[in-house]
Structure 1
Amino acid sequence: MQLQNGRPTDTTGRLDKEIRTYDFLDKLGIEYQRIDHEAAFTMEVCEEIDKTLGATICKNLFLCNRQKTDFYLLMIPGDKTFKTKELSHQIGSARLSFASPQDMEKYLDITPGSVSVMGLMNDHDNAVRLLVDEDVLKGEWVGCHPCINTSSLRIKTKDMFGPVIKAMHHDMTVVKLTGEA
């Protein structure tokens, strides 16, 4: 795995949603580095990728309330344990659970294993609320997938949670999760 600057020069075999991610970032003038790799489905595989990226390892969880009327994208450090009760209290939404793959695709144009903050560029109706654990904001870099889990990006945290999120027309809610029982 080797860190590359910017978009791939050869886009053969890459999905449209991945190319749209590069187009989006390039249009904003956001600098980013990229690593191409085998599909990453677990945090263990992501840890190896993130060592090369040198970025905050994020778990991206796509959640919903019981009625499936409110959807959330939660970004937490990869080494933190997610406790629904702790988050539910902070956002005023009881009975959180993982949203379905169908809803993930409908709102973010992302499939399981590829959940990423970049999927919010596909949420034109602002159906998904972005929740970011405060510890994610402490690092210089944040890592994410370009809407597919065969590549990973490294973007400056200040760019991601500044101009990138703003261009997606989303706000973020900062939460404080301890990961403790």
Structure 2
Amino acid sequence: MTAAEALLSAKRLVLRRFRSEDARAFAAYRSEPEVARYQTWEPPFSLAAAEEFVREVGSLDPAEPGWFQYAVEAGGVLIGDVGVHLHHNRRQADIGYTIATAHQGNGYATEAVGRVLEHLVVERGLHKVSAECDARNERSAKLLQRLGFRLEGHLVEHTWTKGEWTDDLLFGLLAREWRTIRHER
């Protein structure tokens, strides 16, 4: 990978645009039942759907409103993705993330999401970043809290997905909170 391909880099990770050759690995980790469990898609995630996704997101501009998906790479291997939905006011964003099962528990999600937060809040000057997760997804909620997000709401039986009503947890992080957390570390 060339330096020009990396949009963001962290200690052990590169966050870059998706490339066509990522489709197979993307489909593989999104097909893992444990990865898909609290997500909106059903496994298996087809190669055709992955190819379409990679084609669509590969040309998007992360500075423009809407969703942008960072490919998360460790040691030359695609291990997950971080999605950012930039609001039209360009001062707020929503964030989501997925890490392949084989790479969970190594701090990669914390490192990737932390680097994206640093970019959004410090480098781009956003005011607030929000996230939401299924209330049963304790690992995701703990990750957000570890990064300094505050629980802002619990929506009871809010989302109909995979044949059941699920509760959603809403999290928020203000720029001033991120700067304080950053300086305390």
Structure with more relative contact order (C-alpha pairs < 8 Å, separation 6 or more): 1
**Structure having the larger proportion of residues in strand:** 2
TM class by shorter chain equals: 0.3 to 0.5
Q: Normalising to structure 1: TM-score of the pair?
A: 0.32
